Amino acid sequence: MIGLYDVDSRIPNLSLMRISGYYRQQGIPTELYMPIRRHLYDRVYASKIFDFSSAEMITPDMIVGGTGIDLKIELPEEMMEASPDYGLYNYPHSIGFAMRGCRFRCKFCVVPEKEGGARPNHSIGKIWTNRSSDFMVLLDNDFFGNPAWKDRIEEIRELDLRVSFLQGLNIRIITEEQAHALASVKFKNKSGTHSICSFAWDRIRDEKWIRRGIDRLQAAGLKTWQMQFFVLIGYDTTEEQDLHRVRMLKGLGCDPYAMPYDKSDPYQRRFCRWVNRREIFKTVEWEDYTRSKLIEDDPNQLKMFGGGEDGS
């Protein structure tokens, strides 16, 4: 039996599902790793996505990979080409990459170093293997950077699929044609329940391009409440600049979601906790939130707001 240890994935881990699919094609059973059953496994594969996640349960005899371990480790070709075993997670939808890489080389992002430049990867039809569901999650880091994006959009329309562009779309350079293409498909959040599409606002200097992108999306038919923005804080912005971005997005009717560059920084953790807890963000000003001693002095009150140390 093969054990598959998912250290920290927030959605079903595609690599582990491919490993499982590969072994199950050979008649070898697999399961998500359980330490209590360690003696039953002939081999254990571990995947760690985030470098800040704990690796204390990874042992030397495991075969380990993932962005949180080494950017250069890749699955063998025969595993990469295996059909994902969605039964590993009892996941009823489809997950995959229509493209890999990115057009840009942002210093805070590992994608260019890990995957290189933007290039097509799979067709929508190849990714859509759970045919009982009309919903799929695309993991593309730069969907409209795919030279074949028009073909992929046409496939999504023809197959009448609901699609989550999970990693977000680059609103800074979205064209009018791309805005209308996005509006023509059933874009969804990662659970497929709401018509929400994600974008990012990483640098304060991009404000005019962000505003232009929002205008183009609105002209194509999207509503601002359908636009979620990942807002990177703590990389090269001040507190005032962080506040300006989330308040501007809130004022436009968009939904900001703060992302800390350094999770160990108390300010970044606190700011993310304030923004990402909607009931707090909508009713409490940042100045009032920071003046309170809620976080430091009374953890029990913090629980009333649903806050956690990592802002999750």
For 130-155, write each residue's pLDDT tens digit: 999 999 999 998 899 999 999 999 99
For residue 233, the cross-strand partners are: 260
Q: What is the mean pLDDT of residues 177-183?
A: 98
| Percent of the chain clearing pLDDT 70 (strictly above) | 91
Q: Among positive and negative, which fits the CA dihedral 300, 9, 262, 200?
A: negative
Q: How confident is the model at residue 67 (pLDDT cuts 50, 70, 90)?
A: confident
Residue 86 located in a structural domain: yes
Given pLDDT bands bounded at 50, 70 and 90, which one contains residue 229? very high
- In the prediction, which pLDDT does 34 show? 95
Q: How many domains does the chain have?
A: 2
Tell me what pLDDT residue 78 has: 93
In a domain, 176, yes or no: no
The residue out of 137, 167, 197 marking a domain boundary is 167
pLDDT > 60? residue 295: no
Any idea of the CA torsion for 278, 284, 288, 293, to the nearest 10 degrees?
-50
pTM of the model: 0.85
The mean of the pLDDT values for the chain is 90
Handedness of CA 245, 246, 248, 254 (dihedral sign): positive
User: Residue 72 sits in which domain range?
Assistant: 1-91
Least confident of 112-126, 161-175, 248-262: 112-126
CATH, residue 134: 3.30.750.210
Domain boundary among 167, 197, 227: 167
The rounded distance, in Å, linking the Cα atoms of 68 and 10 is: 14
Q: How confident is the model at residue 222 (pLDDT cuts 50, 70, 90)?
A: very high
**HSE-up (13 A, CA, CB side) for residue 92:** 6
Identify the domain boundary among 62, 91, 120: 91
What gap in Å lies between CA 192 and CA 166, rounded to an integer?
11
CA–CA dist 286, 288 (Å, integer):
5
According to the model, what pLDDT value does residue 305 have? 44
pLDDT at 113: 64
Residues 152 and 162 in one domain: yes
Which helix (H) or strand (E) segment holds residue 149: the answer is helix 149-159
The pLDDT of residue 121: 87
pLDDT score for 294: 52
Label residue 106 by pLDDT band (50, 70, 90): low
Give CA–CA dist 132/134, Å, rounded. 7
Q: Based on the domain organization, do 66 and 121 belong to the same domain? A: no
Q: What is the pLDDT of residue 105?
A: 72
Rounded CA-CA distance 125/257 in Å is: 32
For 66-80, 108-122, 147-161, 244-258, which range has the lowest pLDDT when averaged over its residues? 108-122
Q: Which range has the worst mean pLDDT, 3-12, 23-32, 39-48, 97-106? A: 97-106
Give the total residue count for the chain. 312
